[in-house]
Amino acid sequence: MLVVPPQPLPLFAANSLSNGSFRCVFRGSKVNSSSSRLAPAVAAVAREVDDFTKYSGYVFELNPSEEDSLTEYNIAKIAAFYQKKPLIVLRRLVQIGSTLGKWFAVRYLDSVNERADEMFKIRAAELRKILLQLGPAYVKIAQAISSRPDLIPPTYLDELSLLQDRITPFSSEVAFEMIEKELGMPIDVMFSEISPEPVAAASLGQVYQARLRSTREVVAVKVQRPGVQSAISLDILILRNLAGLIKKAGKLNTDLQAVVDEWASSLFREMDYKQEARNGVKFRQLYGSIQDVVVPEMNLALTTRKVLIMQWLEGQKLAGVKDLYLVEVGVYCSFNQLLEYGFYHADPHPGNLLRTYDGKLAYLDFGMMGEFKQQYRDGFIEACLHLVNRDYSALAKDFVTLGLIPPTSDKAAVTEALTGVFRDAVAKGVRNVSFGDLLGDLGFTMYKFKFQIPSYFSLVIRSLAVLEGIAIGINPEYKVLGSTYPWIARKVLTDSSPKLKASLRALLYKDGQFRIDRLESLLSESLRAKTERTLIENQNGGTDSKVVIKQILSFTLDDKGAFVREILLEEFSKGMVALGVATLDSVTNTVAATLPFSPSRPSSMTDEDITNLRNLQRLLLLISGLRENENPRMKVNGVRTSNKQMISLNGAPVALQQFEAVQEYLPLLSVLPELPQEMQQQLLRLPADFAGKLASRVAARTLKRLKCAICLAGKGKRPPPPSPRNIALDWLIILVDDACTEADGVGRTSVTRSLFGLAPGLKGA
């Protein structure tokens, strides 16, 4: 449905105007011409012959009882119904085969005669007319295709786009009779004004603009096209049998009939306007509060199965206004639909998305909706994470969870195949991954490993593909997965679902080792998730580091960031213990250097300590709004330091040298007063949590050291005699060093900084 801008028209009682426009003013109605602004009718289009009725009218010549028997999708009932009408089925098959067959034949002759380019535009127009003649089922298929400018030529795109809302309407006389029959009252009792011709016409119905007599509210009145129920029932029966033949002949793995069933079920629900109104109410409740999203109100009391009355909205097609901000709003809204609530708009073609005149995104037409179950939503999120992080073995398991491959498939072979398919695409970065390209690249692999497209997934794929198609029309470089991933990253970092928490921990840890690069990637991507217009319009202009610091702190101190906050404390504690060991090494070496005949003592820093120390510095850089490659202290003489180089350089630990420039972290401190009050309170609670976790980590390492000493004593072995230089200091190093090997708690800063504060003074002793 397309809502067009209103035009002030002079009032005449159902008479033709000089400019060709019409208006109905009912008897007894008094309309102030200065305040009445109803939309212009598409009268010129209305005078054309309705091709669907002209060429396919025989399909819906049913009596009321026969028509009522086809209100719900039941393939067995539909098949039984048309078994009694073999002549109609035969005639329909001949019509479909002859019209489409003739078109393909002339296209082939054009290519043989080298006239394909010359006749391109003519054949595109002919195809559109054929689809109109065949009816709503074929128009619906064309609408989905018309949203993919990357898949079809521009000429065909222009022609098929006319099927979104510029279909020849049926007679307004028939429409008004249906309104009166459905509402049970004369039309002029219900409305004080109504446009004499539809303002928009689509495959299943057409829309009039009217004013309710009772409330003076301007509304959209959607009336169902006669015969669509029976025509779609017969066409679905034909397409379903054709799908079965194709699957059998092509030995395909996907149950094509189940895919047709899923599509047909949603199509039948779309023909029930009462269900559409309920869908609209639910959609408004879930997503109507999203910034700059508008969902019209539904008038449930006046809506019937074939007539829908809803709030009138005015605007332009989103695809025609080139508004990047509203595209991002649409992506965010689609993310909420698919991955937050699982209730999504399964038919988001350009005719159903408007830019209102106050710059908001309006959703229309809630007939075709889909449900995405929680287990599949989690599986889809995990699949995106594993794809972006090139974890193809985990991705193979995700495909089993989503029902794309059988559980009995060879996981190793699937992993190898997925690696070959996705490696090059993902290497370009998540922001450059095209959803359409991924589906195309999967083709051979899907066939080889018996991939199956679950019936529920077909609508999800269509919804995402259509959304990317609309966006590509505005920006050819747009990638819907790249724009959705920041919201996926944010959800993974903040969701309270135990399954996603487990997925996050599995993503960040491998064999007990913290993969900080993945946390950095998730956090940086989550910061790209923006809905503010100014941030989106200026997203290529760079971001101030202070803004980044504030965003990261707000994220980690928020209640939703509690799980990530625990992980950060855990890794901080590991780093602080490692920093403490490095500090004691520095103290020991400094004291030993003052004693005569003192042998050099090897560093007590392990590889794990060095890794933890490097992670600590990267975490500080991350929270301070810096990147690792921006910090010169991560390099020695212009070269990145290795683990061995971090142990000692010119007699002093490089690890400590890199923490001496406190000014690098001053921007972090300057942001703290700007945080909301509740986040500042959360920040004040962190030292106590941090101290407790640090104490538990040190205690664990101490116990391990004592256990090792007891084991040595039991075997009759003795540790080497302590250095005569400083027995107390040696034992302190031993206790702290081995007490910090096996703990898995969380980091603390105050203790480390106090230890770090000792080092410079002792260094110069």
The residues annotated with a catalytic role in the active site are 347
Q: How far is CA 66 from CA 62, 77, 81, 85, 268, in A?
A: 6, 12, 9, 12, 16
CA distance 682 to 559: 9
Q: Give me the sign of the Cα torsion angle 515, 517, 520, 526.
A: negative
Count of other CB atoms within 10 angstroms of residue 635: 13
Report which DSSP code applies to 242. H
Element spanning 209, H or E: strand 205-212
Element spanning 192, H or E: strand 191-194
Count of other CB atoms within 10 angstroms of residue 218: 19
- Report the relative pairing of strands 361-363 and 293-294 from DSSP bridges: parallel
CA distance 613 to 617: 6
| Adjacent-strand bridge partners of 636 | 639
Token digits for 178?
A: 């249906």
Helix, strand, or coil here: 42? coil
CA atoms within 13 A on the CB side of 186: 6
* Largest Cα–Cα separation, the chain: 116
Helix, strand, or coil here: 422? helix
CA distance 367 to 364: 9
Phi, psi (degrees; rounded to nearest 5) at 209: -100, 135
Contact criterion met (CB below 8 Å) for 179 and 307: yes
33 alpha-carbon distance from chain centroid: 46
Token digits for 219?
A: 């509304």
Q: How far is CA 326 from CA 266, 317, 318, 358, 363, in A?
A: 27, 11, 8, 12, 12
Burial 309-320 (b: 16+ CB within 10 A, else e): bbbbbbbbbbbe
The amino acid occupying position 539 is Q
Count of other CB atoms within 10 angstroms of residue 664: 18
| Adjacent-strand bridge partners of 308 | 222
DSSP string, 602-624: PP---HHHHHHHHHHHHHHHHHT
CA distance 150 to 476: 8
CA distance 612 to 602: 19
Token digits for 133?
A: 């003649």
Alpha helices in 634-676 (DSSP H): 643-647, 654-657, 666-671
The amino acid occupying position 338 is L
Contact criterion met (CB below 8 Å) for 287 and 333: yes
Contact criterion met (CB below 8 Å) for 218 and 209: yes
